[in-house]
Amino acid sequence: MAKGKYLQGASRRSLLKQFGAGALAISFSGGLAACGRGGGGPTVNVHNWATYTGETTNDDFREATGTRVNYTNFASNDELFAQFRAGNQGYDVIVPSNEYVTRMSQAQMLQPLDKTLIPNAANILPEFQDAGFDPGRVYSMPYTWLCIGIGYRKSKMPSPDFVPNSWRYLLDSPQFSQRIAVLGESADLIRLAAKYKGHSINGIPEAMLSEIEQMLIRQKPHIKQFHSDTGQDLLASGEVDIVMEYNGDIAQAILEDDDLAWTFASEGSMQNQDCLCIPVGAPNVEAAHAYINYVLDGAPGAGIAEYIQYATPNRAARDLMPDSYKNNPIVYPPPVEMAKLEYGAFEGDEVSRRYEEIFTRISAA
Amino acid sequence: MEQTWKQAKAAFAAIAVPPLAWLLLFFLVPMAVVWVYTFGENSGPTTIDFAGTFSNYTRALEPLFLEIFAKSVVIAGITTLMCLVIGFPVALAIAFASPKAKAWLLLLIMLPFWTNLLIRTFALIAVLREQGYVNFTLEWLWNNASGFMTLVGLQPLGEYEPLTLLYNNFAVIVGLVYVHLPFMVLPLYSALDRMDRSLMEASLDLGAGHLKTILLVVVPLAAPGIASGILITFIPALGSYLTPDLLGGTDSQMIANVIERQFKRANDWPFGAALSFLLMYLTFIAIALQALVQRRSDRRS
């Protein structure tokens, strides 16, 4: 997530909006600095992706509960995990993605949630009430979800009604040679290649891994960049014509350029879910629960969804949203596409290292 | 009369202890910890056992990683050479400029340092991309040339095809040269500025041309400056990861990109540490070579 990585959080939202939000964040934290230290009172330390909350969520929370929100950012799950290897630096609420909920809970970085303090969990849609990566929702509450698909420029397709609805165009075909960008994250790339080959994104057998490696080495000369979640920018600036990218990013780019379009891959894809969790050693566990409960409420949840434009797993919030959002087929994939989405599971450090080495070999080839 | 530090121990200690303590606490101790990691083994998701194993180094010395090291050395080497070729005339010009112009020219060299590296790199993307300033300029020239040709009754040039300047190794080297040029110019300038001008005048008086004077008199005299310029350009260029990551294509992986991923996605700190320390050992070798050049030139004078 390079722009994620370097300009924090642009991965989760478009760059344009980010600058506006950045100005807001500065004035907001300035306000905090002015009244925070002297005013005292309880604080909850929320560590989230940048610009990944509503415009007034944190202020509203303070008004509702008297607890001040100290909102800090991380740029990628890997960064979050690396931060917590050194222990909890004082965070109360963090927002890792599905796979990292498993990874962090296995590393004893998360504490079980006290469900009695989160009555608004009832607002969560039935399909999100439980999760394979966190059975019984012991450690996590769903915050938003997203999936990977294909963004493309309509005018650069061979014919006006051509839809590149297969991973083949990105991973196994010279058709768009040097006009392709794919995610440069080892696990995402390898898993989607497995999906293309008709396998689940989890439990990829060894033989298929070497097939995937060969295929991607063959495809590499046709790929312009292994992008770090900047696909929407590469597409918008005309650098490439077809990208592998998250749905929210492409939905944002389409708003600004109607020559861009989105399609799901017919082979299926990967779904991600960002989750609210409380890390071990959180200084203010009670306020952390209160914060989680608050954002799972209808109106605050809608405020967040409206601002960040990602799919919410919160029914109460979704009901409050305008139709243009609820019926956006990019943000909310139709059932037939939903059925083909899978969560990437955390399969242990050994598998992560294996994927990483394969990606290193592909890049070095 | 020059004083040795022995004559003013208290003053020397007052000046030397804080930076030494800083160096020890925030550089040597953390480095030692990372060095110990290089012999460690992952025993759990967040724990490292000090196993005294060399397996991390053995793996780091596999052909895959050695090739990436070699590639990084080549890219850093080309960068350094380009910086030297571009930087030497610049440093020479500054050294011979009038004192007033000198201050301004040095300021211009240092000005980019006032901007964050990341912002400079993103600016370079805006310059080099297909819808970027270089291509806009070329397209404008192309279209004008094309218009001119129709005017004089020739075939027009046809549609302008934007050049692909970004997301390849060319872009990485442009980015690295752009970022590292001041590191080369400043030590070269200080070496050239200190030089005894009468030697150059003597060379010119005795019949050597300008080029010959530069090659046979100026360059040897500036050798220590050139060596240190090469060193402080080469070392950071060798370890750069942001530039290849942002400007490079699928073929631009450098060793620091691999190291970064070991500390993040792979969660393999011992192996990442071993790769880092291999890079460090390379750096030590480079510094030793530079010291050798320095000593030889000291002996000569």
Q: Please tell me what DSSP assigns to residue A136.
A: G
- In this structure, the answer to whether residues A140 and A150 fall within a common structural domain is no
- In this structure, the answer to whether residues A356 and A218 fall within a common structural domain is yes
Evaluate the CA torsion angle B201, B203, B206, B209 in order and state its sign: negative
Can you list the alpha helix ranges (DSSP code H) found in B129-196? Answer: 133-151, 169-194
Cβ pair B245:A228 closer than 8 A: yes
Q: How far is CA A286 from the centre of its chain?
A: 26
Q: Is the ipTM of this complex over 0.95?
A: no
Cβ pair A363:B253 closer than 8 A: yes
Cβ pair A364:B71 closer than 8 A: yes
- In this structure, the answer to whether residues A245 and A356 fall within a common structural domain is yes
What chain B residue is nearest to A355 in terms of C-alpha separation? B266
- Show the 3-state SS of A221-267: HHEEEEECCCHHHHHHCCCCCEEEEEHHHHHHHHHHCCCEEEECCCC
Q: In order along chain B (301 residues), what is the average pLDDT of each group of 10 residues?
A: 71 88 92 93 86 91 94 96 95 91 91 87 91 90 87 80 90 95 93 87 87 87 89 92 92 94 91 94 87 80 65
Neighbouring residues of B235: CB distance < 8 A, sequence distance ≥ 6: B283, B286
* Phi–psi pair at A45, nearest 5 degrees: -100, 105
Give the global pTM. 0.87
> Which chain B residues are closer than 8 Å to A187 by Cβ?
265
Q: Could you report the per-residue pLDDT of A32-41, keeping only the tens digit for each?
A: 333 434 346 7
Q: Note whether A79 contacts B: Cβ–Cβ < 8 A.
A: yes
Q: How far is B131 from chain A (nearest CA, A)?
A: 7
- In this structure, the answer to whether residues A156 and A212 fall within a common structural domain is yes
Report the pLDDT value the prediction gives residue A40, as an integer from 0 to 100.
65
Q: Are A71 and A48 in contact (CB under 8 A)?
A: yes
Tokens of A361: 């070999």
User: For B64-129+165-300, which CATH superfamily applies?
Assistant: MetI-like (1.10.3720.10)
* Parent domain of A357: 146-270+340-364
Domain residue ranges in chain B:
1-34, 64-129+165-300
Q: Note whether A257 contacts B: Cβ–Cβ < 8 A.
A: no
Cβ pair B45:A107 closer than 8 A: yes
Cβ pair B265:A185 closer than 8 A: yes
- In this structure, the answer to whether residues A163 and A223 fall within a common structural domain is yes
Other C-beta atoms lying within 10 Å of the C-beta of residue A255: 13
> Which chain A residues are closer than 8 Å to B63 by Cβ?
none
Cβ pair B267:A186 closer than 8 A: no
Tokens of B115: 């901007």
Q: Please tell me what DSSP assigns to residue B108.
A: H
> Which chain A residues are closer than 8 Å to B265 by Cβ?
78, 185-187, 352, 355-356
Regions of chain A short of the pLDDT cut 70: 1-40
Q: Please tell me what DSSP assigns to residue B27.
A: I
Q: Are A244 and A225 in contact (CB under 8 A)?
A: no
Q: Are B188 and B88 in contact (CB under 8 A)?
A: yes
Cβ pair B249:A228 closer than 8 A: no
- In this structure, the answer to whether residues A324 and A353 fall within a common structural domain is no
Other C-beta atoms lying within 10 Å of the C-beta of residue B164: 17
Residue of B59, B265, B268, B269 to mutate when probing chain A, most A C-beta within 10 A: B265
What chain B residue is nearest to A352 in terms of C-alpha separation? B266
CATH of the domain at A297: 3.40.190.10
- Show the 3-state SS of A139-192: CEEEEEEEEEEEEEEHHHCCCCCCCCCCCHHHHCCCCCCCCEEEECCHHHHHHH
Q: Which of A106, A53, A114 is nearest to A81 (CA)?
A: A106
Q: Note whether A186 contacts B: Cβ–Cβ < 8 A.
A: yes
What chain A residue is nearest to B117 in terms of C-alpha separation? A6
List all residues of chain B from 115 to 144 with a beta carbon under 8 Å from chain A: 118, 122, 129-131
- In this structure, the answer to whether residues A200 and A277 fall within a common structural domain is no
Tokens of A287: 């306020």
Side-chain-side CA neighbours of B149 within 13 Å: the count stands at 11
- In this structure, the answer to whether residues A59 and A93 fall within a common structural domain is yes
- In this structure, the answer to whether residues A95 and A219 fall within a common structural domain is no
Q: Name the pairing type of β-strands A43-49 and A68-74.
A: parallel
